[in-house]
């Protein structure tokens, strides 16, 4: 199974204000973007990051081939 970092151009995390973190997954090509969106579920993300799936926000930005995940900051 291919690792996410081997498929995409860049994975970046950043502050999204004092209470949220955002993870951006830049896919580059449309086919890679679609594959990542199809295979990377919110449950998988929540499990890896040890957060409640109900607290995740997912933004699929097809025009930029970017998947954004926002989650509450573990410590404020």
Q: Split the chain (76 residues) into runs of 10 and give each run's mean pLDDT.
A: 84 86 94 94 92 95 96 81
Tell which residue, 59, 20, 16, has the closest CA to residue 40: 59
Q: Strand pairing partners for 21?
A: 15, 71
Compute CA distances 8 → 52, 60, 62, whole Å.
Answer: 25, 15, 14
Q: What was the pLDDT predicted at 67?
A: 97
- When the candidates are 1.10.357, 3.50.50, 3.30.70, 3.40.50, the CATH number that belongs to 4-72 is 3.30.70
- pTM attached to this predicted model: 0.87
Structural domain boundaries in the chain: 4-72
């Amino acid at each position: 199974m291919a690792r996410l970092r081997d498929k995409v151009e860049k994975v970046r995390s950043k502050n999204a204000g004092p209470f949220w973190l955002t993870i951006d997954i830049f896919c580059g090509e449309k086919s890679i973007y679609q594959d990542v969106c199809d295979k990377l579920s919110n449950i998988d993300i929540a499990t890896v990051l040890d957060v409640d799936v109900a607290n995740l926000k997912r933004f699929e930005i097809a025009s930029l081939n970017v998947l954004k995940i926002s989650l509450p900051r573990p410590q404020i």
